[in-house]
Structure formats: C-alpha cells, structure tokens
Amino acid sequence: MGIDISQFLETFYEESFEGLDIMETALLEMDTGEVDDEAINTIFRAAHSIKGGSGTFGLNSVSDFTHVLETLLDEMRDGKRAVTKEAVELMLITVDVLREMLIALRESADVDTDRVAKIHSELEIMLKGEAAVVEATTELTPSESSASAAGWVVNFRPHVHMFKTGNDPVRMIKELSDLGEMSVHCNVDGLPALDDLDPEECYLSWRIEIKGDNVAQDAIKEVFDWVEDDCDLDISSQHAVAELSAAVAVEATPVDEPVVTSAEPASVPNTPLESPIPQTPSAPKAPVTAKKAAGTESGSIRVSIDKVDALINMVGELVITQSMLNQLGEDFSMDKLQRLQEGLAELEQHTRELQENVMRIRMLPISFAFNRFPRLVHDLSQKLDKKIEIKLSGENTELDKTVMEKIGDPLVHLVRNSLDHGIESPEVRKANGKPETGTLELNAYHQGGNIVIEIADDGAGLNTARVREKAVEKGLINENDQMSDEKINELIFHPGFSTAEQVSDVSGRGVGMDVVRRNIKDLGGGIELKSEFGVGTKITIRLPLTLAILDGQLMRIGNETFVIPLVSITESLQVKAEYVKSIAGDAELYKLRDEYVPVVRLHDVFGMEPDTKELIGGLLVVVEGDGHSAGLFVDELMGQQQVVIKSLESNFKPVDGISGATILGDGTVALIIDIPGLVQLARKKSHRAKPRGTIAA
C-alpha cells in the first residue's frame, strides 16, 4: 500500500514560508560587493529545501522557478559571481514571487503567471548574461501583441449557466479551429455524479492551443465577444507564460484526473504540461471555496517540546490528585476533612498551573510580527529616497497568537507613518545637523499583565503649533482653549485629522490614526503618543497578553455581580463628603489629590436598583481607560480572580459599556465592564441625568 504524502503538504507550506522568511532576512543583511559565505549558504539551503519539497509534492512550477535562483546562488557561493545590489534586489523580488505562488497553490487560487514569467526571465537574463538577453528579445514584444508566430494559449471556462443563454462552447471551439492548427484539452474536473448531472448546466472547461504564423489576438477575442460576461477567459502568448501556466495546472489538480483531448495521440506530448487547467475561484467547485476560506487565517501553531512536556507533567499531577480525592470520597469521615482540604488546595494549584501552561502554548515571540518590518523599511526607504536604519529589541517577548495577528495591521500603519512623514530626507536631516541616516526603533517588553510595544523615530516630530492650528480650523477646539502639548498632539487620533500638506500613497501622519486607536482599543489596549518637534516621535502601545483570560476584581451592584479588569483599577476608597463636588446638579466630581475625577453611578448607567444611592460613605473604585480616569460608585467590592472571557457579541449582541461575560464558580454569569466604553456611555447619560440631592460645591 502506498503512502499518501498529501497529508504532509501543509507542513511543507509552513516550512517553506519559514524558509522564505530566512532568505529575506539574510538578503536584507547582506553587504553588496563581497561574498558572505554564511549568508549565501543560509539562503541556498532554504531555496534548496523549497525546491526539493516542491518537487516531491509535484509542485513543478515552484521547483522550476526555484532552480534558476538556486543556480544563481551556487555561482555566488563558488565565487563565480559578485554580489551586486541589483542581484540582491532581484532575489528579494524572487522571494516575494515564491511566497505568492505558494499562497495561491495552498488556497487553490490562480497564480499570477505573467509576474512569475517576468521574474523568471529576469533571473535567466542575470544568470546567462547577453545570451539570455538575445533570447529574450526574440520573444513576443509589445509591438507584436496583435499576432504571434508561436501561437496562443486560451483558457476558456464557461460559467455554469452558459447553455441557458443559448450559447454552445463547442461551436466556439470549432470557429477557433479556422484560425490555425489547434489542440484542445478538456477539464472534466467539475463533472458531478451522473445522478446529480443537470443537462442544462455546463461543467467543463477547456485549454486551447492555437498555432499559426499570423494568428491575431483580436480574432480570438472576436469568437468570444458574445459570452465575455458568461465565462472566464484568458488569452496568453505561447511562450514561457504558457509553460508556467501548464505547470501550475499540474499542481492545482490531482494527477490521476481524466483528460479528454481532440488531438491525435501521437501529437500529444507525454508531459505534465498537457494536464488540464486548474479551476479558478469563480468556477463552480465548492471545495476550492472552502479551501480559500480556511486559508484566510493561520489555523496551526508550532509549540516547543518543552511546553508540551510541561503540560504532560501537569496533567500527570492532576491525575494523581484526582486519584487521591477519589479514595477519600469512597469512605469519607470527618477525621479525613483536613486531608480533603489539602487535596482540594493541591487541585486548585495544579489547575492554575495547568491553565498557565495551556496559555503558554498560544504564546509566540513578537518577532513573528516584527520580522516583516526590515523588508518594509528596505523597500520604502528606496521608494522615498531616504536612508533609514531599523533597530529591533525585545523580539523574544511573548504574546498571545490572537493578539499578535490582530496587532499586525496597526503596527504596519504606524511604521509607514514614521518612514513617510516622520523621518526626513538625507538633505533635510543634514541641514538640521542630524545624521543622514534616520533611525526607527521597535521595542517590546512585559509590564505587569500587559505587553508594551514602542515605535520610536528620530525624525521631524509633530509640529504642535500646526496640529493646534488644524484643530481650531476643523472646530475640534476653540482658539482660546488651554491645552498641554501632549493633549494637542493626541488630536491626531481624531477621525479624519491630518496635518499633511499633500496626500501620500504610502501614508499620512494622522490619516487613519483613529482606526489604529480603535483597533487597539478593541484588543483591550491603549495607545500613547509623545513627540518633540525636530527631535522625533515615540508611540507606546499597551496590550493584554491574552484575550482569553482576564485578571478581574469582582464587585456588586444590588443583586448583580460585575467584573472590572484589574489592570484598569488604580485605587479604591471610601467617599468623604468634603471631596465631593457637583456641577449644576448634573455631574459629580471627586477631588483625588490634585485632580477631579467624574463619578459614575453604575446603577444609573445600567438601570439597576442599588443597596443605597447615598454617595457619602460609599465605595468608589477609581479606574483609568483610554487616557481618562473615573470613579465607579459600587455597593461592595468582592474577591479578585481570573475569569475566562466569553464574547457577548457572538453569543447575544453588543452591549454598550460591557466587553464580555464570564461564568463564576457558583454558575452565575457576571458581566465584564468595558472601562473606556463605560466612561463614554456615562458622559452621554449625564446630559439626560436629573439633579441629585447630594453635596454641591
């Protein structure tokens, strides 16, 4: 019995993507003009592994494409070829193309064969020199696009309803035969079982090769004029593109699929190039759609053996404790009560350790998010004609996989902002007495129950006066408002706010910053900005280590229990009359040292009946969220505990002021308070609040 190697295909893809990351990193660190044997060998080994693996799994287009790169690297390794800037840039593009090919093949999507052929040709030209250039010029040129001596390859995929429009694919194929010598390859992959076959629906697609001295592309298009909206049509010249397209076809469909051809057996080459074309996402093939949907997110994670061993050991301890408790329960008497309590304490400890070990499995080093930025800085610095050095630190700081995936886009936006509008051009930097090369620093570290990510640049910084001017112009603040520089700079987080003089296709400091802040808030985090004009900007992001478990403070209002995230609490106190102030009888403030914090009566916000409405002598929990502090008036503070967060939106519906829910030990449900959302909700309700009979200023 043969071994089904397709079960290892996903592992090959994961290892290939890791290899491409290694290649990209080594290329970015490579010095041009001299051969770094270690770097070249690292890139060569990664390319060789991808080539060998792709060949094993029948991904011949990947194998053939990588072979040219491997040959180029081999010549560099042997000292036959110098490492030039052009070669490094081309190899970086080659890494991009390989990544795109592998992603498309894994998701059963179309490979951009034109781009593949173009880069393949450029690699051949670099490898073979003038000989390849001469050979390349004999291929089809733009001026010859109307006719091709080599012929054309037509990929014709009728939509399933084509018969119902009165059109017949066979007639179109017969009409094409009048243009020149033709071979037709029919893909029957979409045919259903006989019982499910509908004679009024079209399940087939065709790959048609037309050979002739002067076959015009317009003549081919004319045949399909009436059905251009009822089919997927691709017409390509029959050169390297056709070969690569055919090679991709082998990989995208099973090898043993039936092939129907109108050509004579002797004239059909015995080669995989004649295999049927792959189904495109638009074709009626449900499995393809399912694969594409599944491939939108990473569904697997690599775990070190140390973490697995720790988990297994912890499960063993749990089994021992469970066995001991079972024995106590079989013949229990009061003299065994102390032993039972000790056993339950052990069970609690082991359960907590097991929970921590399980959570560690989901933790990944933030280098997975940071690794994309050296390439981003490299590409954008060339595009913007700037000299920029990137410095990464804290790459081994671990973060939950879910948080990691969701923080990627905001980080990219912030980095692009720094590169585009933060760091100045070499000329401007030199004129300002700065080094020509700007510096972008990314740092990550743990602080309490959070992970802190810092993005800092030594660029132009924010022009606070300009920000204030724009804010007044947009009506966000009054001209006479007294605000600190930090508060003024934070106005760039307002939707649509920007100080950019012109729109950039890279970014715009301030453009989309409200989206960045909102995305970070959705993760339960916060963002701070510090900037000094002419010196630079530093953005600090604080995120929870995980979105699944929360350290919370239980508190009670009336008969209901709520959870406040522990990281949001700054202190709790008993209300004293002399520190309570009210404004026009509508809003209450509490003087806390040198500042006044608004008092939020949670029973009013949630429409509940509390134990008492008398503020004096009651409990106030001071919390901080989204840069604002508030005092929550509650009936009772209870214990602290870790809670498992359950989404309200997916199980019920979104609720203002509530970020989720959890199930407590007694089986009751407790709502988890969204501190930033609650402060906003309380502000809205304060406009409708009635005067209270409490102490006034």
Q: Which of 17, 69, 94, 91 is nearest to 371 (CA)?
A: 17
Q: Are strands 628-634 and 595-601 parallel, antiparallel or unpaired?
A: parallel
- The set of residues, in sequence order, having a beta carbon less than 8 Å from that of 39 and lying 6+ positions away, is 26, 27, 29, 30
CA dist 275 and 444 (Å) reads 50
Find the catalytic residue in 14, 15, 48, 405.
48
Which DSSP string do the residues of 591-658 spell out, in sequence order? EETTEEEEEEEHHHHTT---S----TT-EEEEEEETTEEEEEEESEEEEEEEEE-B-HHHHS---TTE
The values of phi and psi at residue 381, to 5°, are -65, -35
- The set of residues, in sequence order, having a beta carbon less than 8 Å from that of 309 and lying 6+ positions away, is none
Q: Which of 46, 101, 85, 149 is nearest to 378 (CA)?
A: 85
Find the catalytic residue in 14, 15, 67, 70.
70
Active site residue 70: yes
Max CA pair span of the chain: 102
Alpha helices in 78-162 (DSSP H): 85-106, 113-128, 130-137
Find the catalytic residue in 155, 187, 357, 417.
417
CA dist 593 and 582 (Å) reads 17
Question: 115-152: b or e for each residue (b if 16 or more CB lie within 10 Å)?
Answer: ebbebbbbbbbbeeeeebeeebeeebeeeeeebbebbb
DSSP-based three-state secondary structure for 194: helix
Token digits of residue 690: 């009635």
CA dist 636 and 670 (Å) reads 14
Alpha helices in 143-253 (DSSP H): 169-176, 217-223, 240-252
Angle at 639 between CA 446 and CA 630, to 5 degrees: 65
Token digits of residue 83: 């490492």
CA dist 193 and 196 (Å) reads 5
The distance in angstroms from the start CA to the end CA of the chain is 88
**Which residues belong to the active site?**
48, 70, 417
